[in-house]
Amino acid sequence: MKENRKYLKVFLLSLVKSGSMKKQVYMEIYKSLNSREDIPPLSSKYGIEEDVLISILSQKTVRNVKKDYYPIMNRIHELVKLWDKGLTFQDISNKLVFSPILIATMILKEKNYSKKDIKNFLNNPDSIEDERIRTEIKKAIEIDIAYSPQSSKIQRENGKKGEEMLKFYLDQKEIQFLREDDLRKLGSVKTPDFLLNKVIRIRGRRVFWFESKASFCDYIEFKQDYNKQLKHYISLFGPGIVVYWKGYIDDIITDKRVLVVDKNFFEKSFTSFEYD
């Protein structure tokens, strides 16, 4: 219990500067944010928490991969030649503005390493016998914001911490709910993180459920979350609230039945409620 409280405290502190972001500021940041090295200067320039910028960079990296994966794969022979000439996985990924882990994976596959070999390389880089590959894999793991085993682990941990923080706020208000696991046991397929046992009203707005997202919300992120999850929650249960712990663009356009909030909502707006 003490350990959980410690993690929640650290997570909450990382959200101090999160919140709504002006569209112009977001666009400037998004354009300038291409690697982990860009984060400290942009954090200093705009006064934005580094964790928020990490979330934005991770989203940008994933979107670039979705857009460019096959065009880059079609150039694999060219990439292998560059690597053979001495360019590192990082050099090539920087030139292409692409995931260094995926660049490494593509090149190593072309060099006849199996999927199992590559998975072992990523999970146990110290065991790699080839010195060059070992050095470059370690560097790729260090700098890859979205596709390294460490990044995936951090994303999962942040997701759990966000849910625990939301549970903390709901427990403070003594609001009873069913969790995702409870709903699955009842046979529900599409399940919000917290379905309220009783509908509440917050400033006249009816709320049936809460969803936690340990990420930053821009137009693309909301559209993806809405199509994949939120619209189904509305159809099944009614209106609700989605919490983006890393903040959101201030002019985000949403379905009126979904309220987008961040942690400031719980500290400043969610001061009282009534049962419907």
**Greater confidence, 255 or 133?**
133
pLDDT band at 182 (very low <50, low <70, confident <90, very high): confident
How is residue 103 written in tokens? Answer: 């660049």
Per residue in 24-54, pLDDT tens? Answer: 999 999 999 998 899 999 999 999 999 999 9
| Average pLDDT of the segment spanning 249-262 | 91
Question: Can you give the residue ranges of every domain in the chain?
Answer: 33-147, 158-275
pLDDT for 147: 96
Average pLDDT over the chain, rounded to an integer: 90
Please, is 45 exposed, middle or buried when counting C-beta atoms within 10 Å of its C-beta (0-12, 13-18, 19+)?
exposed
Distance CA 83, CA 101 (A): 14
Is the C-alpha dihedral spanning 32, 11, 202, 184 positive or negative? positive
- Indicate the pTM of the whole model: 0.86
pLDDT band at 19 (very low <50, low <70, confident <90, very high): low
Please, is 87 exposed, middle or buried when counting C-beta atoms within 10 Å of its C-beta (0-12, 13-18, 19+)?
middle
How is residue 18 written in tokens? Answer: 């999160």
Distance CA 262, CA 13 (A): 14
How is residue 16 written in tokens? Answer: 């101090």
Per residue in 78-106, pLDDT tens? Answer: 999 999 999 999 999 999 989 999 999 99
Q: Is residue 1 over pLDDT 60? A: no
pLDDT band at 175 (very low <50, low <70, confident <90, very high): very high
Phi, psi of 232 (to 5 degrees): -75, -35
Q: Is residue 206 over pLDDT 60? A: yes
Give the percent of the chain with pLDDT over 90: 80
Q: Does domain 158-275 have CATH number 3.40.1350?
A: yes
